[in-house]
Every structure is written in structure tokens, then in C-alpha cells.
Amino acid sequence: MNILNEAYRDLTFIAERNAGNYQQAHPFPYIYFDNFFDESFLNTVLSEFPDLRTVNASSYNSPTELKLASKGEGQFSPSAKQLAYFLNSEPFLKFLNTLTGINETLLPDPYFQGGGYHEIKKGGYLKIHADFNKHQATQLDRRINVLVYLNKDWMPEYGGDFELWDESMQKKEVGIAPLFNRMAIFSTTSLSYHGHPDALNCPDDRSRKSFALYYYTNGRPENETIAFKDMHGTIFKDRKGVEADKSMKRFTAFACVLKNVMPPFIFNGIRRIFIKD
């Protein structure tokens, strides 16, 4: 079975044609493609999407995120493995290098740290944030996120747009609906603020599903490392003037550091203290 839509099978051509738009995008480099994958193939990926409540998935429940995510490749279905292997393959890595203008050799993450299946149920969210900047095991620098959305017949009133915000957190610059067979790509730095900050308003029997892949390099340009030379976790930011985001302030600044150095049961106990109203 073909993985790519026929219109996108010449990856070099697609990357060269879209490189300028990607690299000059605001508030930071990004792009999205519709119908990038063969529809029959992606239908299979969706049909095999597991109930993340019944497998050994990560469950996030805090003022900053309410979502589910898989842990590693072991939970991937056969078609999801095909998708992951393609997105981590040499042709796709070269496509990303050309599209993004990143000069360093891109490397995939065979451990899928933070990647794989993502799901947000009704009422869930992922507050605006910048991603962790280094891979926990390899210490490589995180450079690119690729998100493949798996939501058929998605209505605007459900919410769930992928939002890109300016560095001052004054306003949303871009909103991208998480539509089926839409692939979003963006460059990750310690100032590339993005997320899905408002509670999802879909029907009870629906959810916001996606498949995420992250890419790394050994080192990054100096202008991207000056402010955040050391390893950091996810940096959550409150939107200016949004009351619902203010509960993050008491614990977010140090939680990103503590989460990487403390056993989970200790970290979660401290988190509960500081998010208490």
C-alpha cells in the first residue's frame, strides 16, 4: 500500500517548492499540508488507533495539560508502525532538511520520547508551551515537530485548533484546525510557543487524535542556544489577560526542572501542593 498521496510522492520537489514559505513563516517557521498521505492508508491508521485509556499510556492531568499519549513503539498498530518508519526514513529526513533549511543532519527518535499517539478527550487541553529542548536519553537537540491529524468530520465548534503564539504571549498568530490527513510541521526552539489551550468541546464520543514525531540534531545554531543553553523540560506560558491560565504560575517555572530529576511520585506530590487553589 502506498503511504503518500500521489501528489506528494516527489518529496524533493515538494520541499524545494515550499522551503521559502516555511522558513519565512511567522511567528516561527511552520507549514501544513492537506491530504499528504494516501487516504486508504491513513484510514487504516485511524481504524487501528487504540483506546489509550486501556493500554499502558501516559495520562496527563494538571492545569497545563489534560491528555493521553502512548509510550514507545510497542503500542503502535501495524499501520502506525509503517507510518512511523516512513516518517523516520532517509527520504523524509532529507525532505525535512530541505524544507526547513536546517543544515545539521537530522536524526529521528527511535524511542519516541513524547511522540506517537496523542489523544485529547472532551474537556481536555494542552496549554501554550515551548517543548523540552534536549532528548533525555541521547542529549540531542530537538529541532522539528511533525503532527499528523486523524480527525474526520471535525467541526469548528469542537475547538482544538493548533495555535502558534508570539514570543510576548500577547496574541495568537496562527490557528490550524486538526483535520484528518493534515500534517503540520514546525521548528522547535525554547521560544516557539504553541498548543491547544482551551478545553475541547467535541461530543462525548469524539476525541482529538494525532500522531507525533520529533526530530533532533547534534548541536544547533548559537542564536538558538543563548537563552536556553541547559537542558530544560516543557515551558508552559500563560496567555496575557486570560484568567484561566493564571493557575499555572505557581508551579510551572520550577516544575519543568524538577520533573526531569525527581522520581514521579515525589514530583506529583509537590505538583499537587502548588496547583492547589
pLDDT tens digits, 195-208: 999 999 999 999 99
Q: Indicate whether 253 pLDDT > 60.
A: no
Of the candidates 259, 213, 229, 273, the one whose C-alpha atom is nearest the C-alpha of residue 87 is 213
What are the tens digits of pLDDT across the range 233-252? 999 999 988 877 875 555 55
Q: Which grid coordinates are listed for 141?
A: 537537540
The domain ranges of the chain are: 6-226
pLDDT at 63 over 70: yes
pLDDT over threshold 70, residue 223 = yes
Percent of the chain with pLDDT over 70: 87
User: Between 78-87 and 39-47, two packed helices, what is the crossing angle to 10 degrees?
Assistant: 130
Confidence of residue 54 (pLDDT cuts 50, 70, 90): confident
Q: Is the pLDDT of residue 176 over 80?
A: yes
% residues pLDDT > 90 (the chain):
77
pLDDT, tens digit, 9 for 90 and up, residues 8-41 = 999 999 999 999 999 999 999 999 999 999 999 9
The architecture that CATH gives domain 6-226 is Sandwich (2.60)
The model's pLDDT over 76-108, given as tens digits with 9 standing for 90+, comes to 999 999 999 999 999 999 999 999 999 999 999
Cell of 117: 499517539
Sequence-separated (6 or more) residues with CB below 8 Å from residue 208: 119, 120, 124, 151, 158, 160, 178, 196, 200, 202
Query: Which band of pLDDT confidence, cut at 50, 70 and 90, is reported for residue 277?
Result: very low
Q: Which pLDDT does position 274 carry in this prediction?
A: 45
**φ and ψ of 102, to 5 deg:** -70, 125
CA distance 273 to 267: 10
Phi/psi for 31 (5° steps) reads -165, 165
Say which residue the cell 510551572 belongs to: 252
Beta-carbon count within 10 A of 206 CB? 18
Provide the 3-class DSSP secondary structure of residue 186: strand
Asked if omega into 29 is within 30° of 0 (cis), the reply is no
Count of other CB atoms within 10 angstroms of residue 88: 19
d(CA 84, CA 95): 15
- Mean residue pLDDT across the chain: 90
Q: Read off the C-alpha cell for 241.
A: 489577560
Residue 254 has which C-alpha cell?
A: 520550577
Banded model confidence at residue 137, pLDDT cuts 50, 70, 90: very high
Question: Would you place residue 66 in the very low, low, confident or very high pLDDT band (cuts 50, 70, 90)?
Answer: very high
Q: Burial code of 90-102, b = ≥16 C-beta within 10 A, e = fewer?
A: eebbebbbbbbeb
